[in-house]
Chain A
Amino acid sequence: MNADMLLIVRTARHRYAVRHADLAGMKMLADPRVLDHSGFYGQPCLAAELGPLLGHADTGALQRRQALMVPLRRRYVALLVDAIETFIEHASAVPLPALLRERLRQPWATGALVLEAQPVVLIDVRAVARSVMLAAPASPDRKGNTAYVSGA
């Protein structure tokens, strides 16, 4: 697969773009709780719904979930979405307008691409996954009270 490939994923209310290169894989889950027991490739795995992390009232009712597996140093974070809609090769995402980019509370939205005339926000899932891990109770990687981290 092309390293620049983007996935368009759907939460209950929104679509987001995600870089395929940021993922270790994708997994369809009939019940996300299975990750709590089995992990992913023998590593512990922490699951979190992507929609509520990114926007209020963006909680789906579907039981079947698609998991975006984000590799971190000692574990995986599974970001759960309703669906993976499509893959886009050679997609050209543009940075968010500077006026907006400099005011974001979390460094999660990094750009946008126009799809069917609508902008779709490009999400840095690695930054989201790090925030999920740091916010998790009893996380061995938790440092201080930081609710999110920035940078690569």
Chain B
Amino acid sequence: MVASAPDNSTAPQLDVLLFRLAGEVYALPSACVREVIRYRDYTPVPGAPATLPGILNQRGVVVPVVDIYPLLGLSAPPASRATRLVMLSHQEIDMALLVEAVLDLAALPPAALEPPPPALDPARARFLRGLATFEQQPVALLDLDELIAGLRAWE
């Protein structure tokens, strides 16, 4: 039997939410996005790591706030009017992802997705499913499974 390359022409497009972290454009599959809310102060939790600094109440449910800037080696800008919390649900885990700004919804053709360049820091590349270009901008598609694993391992 001869293995054939996947036919990307018939593969469904990947719907993603585009957002900005430290000036760079990132994406997550929109299927795991529940809603986007304006930034509001959260309740800090004593002894929590920098990546999980606190909790907030969203519609009666207490969810952890997730800050992936340290995970990606990025410097977090101060909260501004554009700062948003992206409410995510994945693997039965609910979380509020802190982002610099939410940009748009987009559909990425699978063929547009390329592996992260080898020169990229492996500590950062592990959190990326791939890179794409959308409207002349580089977009990094995040791997939510790896992000959650990274949050669990962060010291």
Contacts and interface: CB of A to CB of B under 8 A. Distances in A.
A, B co-complexed: yes
Interface of A: 14, 53-55, 94, 96-100, 102-109, 112, 114, 117-121, 123
Closest 5 CB pairs of A and B: A54-B46, A105-B47, A106-B47, A100-B64, A104-B47
B64 A99 contact: yes
A103 B62 contact: no
Given A109-B46, A121-B55, A94 B95 contact: no
20 contacts: A54-B46, A55-B44, A96-B55, A96-B64, A97-B95, A99-B95, A100-B48, A100-B64, A104-B45, A104-B46, A104-B48, A108-B46, A109-B45, A109-B46, A109-B47, A118-B57, A119-B55, A119-B57, A120-B43, A121-B55
Contacts of A102: 152
Interface string B60-71: 101110000000
Interface of B: 43-49, 51-52, 55-57, 60, 62-64, 93-95, 148, 151-152, 154
Nearest to A54: B46
Choose among A54, A98, A107, A118 the residue with the greatest number of B CB atoms under 10 Å from its CB. Answer: A118
Contacts of B55: 96-97, 100, 112, 119, 121
Contacts of B95: 97, 99
Nearest to B93: A99
Contact of B52 (A53, A103, A107, A114): A103
A11 to B, nearest CB: 11
A106 B152 contact: no
A21 B56 CA distance: 26
A149 to B, nearest CB: 13
A94 B62 contact: yes
Given A103-B52, A103-B151, A97 B63 contact: yes
A96 B47 contact: no
A83 B43 CA distance: 19
Contacts of A123: 46
Nearest to A123: B46
Choose among A54, A100, A107, A117 the residue with the greatest number of B CB atoms under 10 Å from its CB. Answer: A100
